[in-house]
Structure 1
Amino acid sequence: MNSATARTGFWSQSHHLDRMTLRELAVAYLQYPAIILYLGLAAAGAGLWFVFPATIGRSLLAIATAVLLFPVVWYGLHRWVLHSRWMWKVSFLAATWKRIHYDHHQDPNHLEVLFGSPANVIPTVMVATIPVGYAIGGVGGAAAAFATGMVQTCVNEFFHCIQHLSYKPKNRWLAHIKTRHMEHHFHDETGNFGITNYWWDHLLGTYYARVAGRPKSPTVFNLGYTDEVARDHPRVRELSAATTARGRPRG
């Protein structure tokens, strides 16, 4: 069996992180088509920098800016887009919202819907990194910032996977971010929007570390898309029914 066939066979089955080891996750992660694509785009960005190089100082500034922007952009998108209650009301956006976040909260440990869709991820990274990189260092700065954004996306996705993996990390920081993310998924989805850091949750008042005094959210799994909402805006429910009928598609 060649590697292409192995990858196809591997991803033809469903993967649940609560039933996987760290080693199994690493194998699945490195074979996942979107991750391969993201790493390829990061390499392409690095290659473009060599063709149109910016100065080392400007390149490092573009990279540092991309690193600092990543958690800001992620927080904003996670809180005000992925957890919005307006996307399901627009028919052509309902499918996107379902794919990129509703399905993940419905089944948090399902690997195929944990990864973001490249059709959404890549344009977002481009918009967040290329303009600021270009302003700092021209084409070379834009290439450096974009490559950084794609690498950060891969790192973010890997730690996101680890947070859903069924094991208790020994590393204190990893245990911390895993606990906060599990609280977001299983206790109250209106807080702890970060993945690898919670700076912006602290700053904007959405961080919480103790669930004892915080009531469990009734919408932690459906994100507010209740049966009552579905009667007025049925698109997500229709798509969910169709997905169930034919089996969950790969992400």
Structure 2
Amino acid sequence: MERIHKQRDGLANYNGVICPKIREILELQKKNSASWIPSWNGEDEFELSGPYGDKRVVNIRQRTCSCRKWDISGIPCCHVVAALVYLKEPPEKWVHTCFKMETFLKTYSHVVPAIDSKDTRLARDHLLPPDVPKQVGRKKKQRTKSLNEMVDNNLKTKKKKIVQEPVGTKLKRQNTTITCGKCGGSGHNRNNCKNSLIASTAAAITSSMGREKMQVKRRV
């Protein structure tokens, strides 16, 4: 707030076309332009010859110079100033508009209002969230899937990507007893069953005994 009025009031009595600091830079470029000799091609370009045999090219219409100082800063360099003096043009006219006093006064023309302390402000109601209108259609039941889930177009279902766990991280089952499907024993499965021969012979004996009993009943 203070800076705005200081900037505006500090240059209230200044009558220049461009800002004071930019004018100082331009005055230095005017002094350095005395050592450059312009050669005009009759249209927009100038060829500037320096004191050590070096040359620069200036295009007035495109506002460019081969040294690129005018292109970057927007302030005419010594080569451009030499070309403008040849054309009897004021260099201040060719400074970028952001460095002119008209733009400066527009920048600081507004005023920031003063702010009072909190104890003198009027009490207000708590700020509530805005009312959300009811959406058309049924509510969404399924959750939004994450990026590591993909869509199977054939089944039209979403499946999680299979991530292989590193070796040694898979936990074994604890407090469980495995029962064999062949012999009925515990502690092993049917693939590792060592009692399969005993179970097969026992089954053959029981089946043969059952046949003999049936034959005896038929005879009776």
- With the length of structure 2 as denominator, give the TM-score of the two structures: 0.25
Question: Which protein has greater RCO, CA pairs closer than 8 Å, 6+ apart?
Answer: 1
- With the length of structure 1 as denominator, give the TM-score of the two structures: 0.23
Relative to total residues, which structure has the larger strand share, 1 or 2?
2
Relative to total residues, which structure has the larger helix share, 1 or 2?
1
Structure showing greater Rg: 2
